[in-house]
Amino acid sequence: MSMKIPIMNGSGAFGRVAGTYLAGLYGPFDLQVGCTLVTAATIWAVLGVNTSAALVLVSVLYGIFSSAWLALSIDCLTSLARNPNEVGARTGIALALGSFGALGSAPIQGALLTRTFCGFGPSLFLGYSIVLASAGCFVVMAVLVSRRSREGSRVQEIKFSME
């Protein structure tokens, strides 16, 4: 049971690399939707874990898809920028706004844990929070992309040079 954190970290390394590679083939937005759903499903799957093998499987899947989601979020923000000068501002603002969720979720989950240490409430809260927050982010991204297409400027791939 104590090996779940190293398992998630090890599988997360694969998820970050594979996620960004597949984003080049299928697009970061499409891939992030799938990663969001699988990440939420693995959080809810923790409620049904009864054996060590099931815990290892859920830990591997959560590590892969949550790490891919984290890597793809920066990729999605980068693809929304009109030029390379906007990338840092967009990423910084998004991470600053996300920090409030990270700051507040641990005390809320602790309060939902109750005295019996039942993980049912925190798992439901975290799973639904991921789905709802991601849905809000995807709506904002869709509005930005559609606004740009109406303005005539297309979202383009930004190429960076190491000069």
To the question of pTM greater than 0.85 for the whole model, the response is no
Q: Taking the chain, what is the end-to-end CA distance rounded to the nearest angstrom?
A: 48
Question: Cα angle at 102 between 99 and 106, to 5 degrees?
Answer: 150
pLDDT tens per residue across span 67-95: 999 999 888 888 888 888 888 988 899 88
Backbone phi and psi for residue 62, each to the nearest 5 degrees, phi listed first? -65, -45
Residue 12 CA, chain-centre distance (Å), reads: 12
* Stretches in the chain below the pLDDT threshold 70: 1, 116-118, 152-163
pLDDT at res. 122 = 78
pLDDT at res. 22 = 92
Residue spans per domain, the chain: 4-151
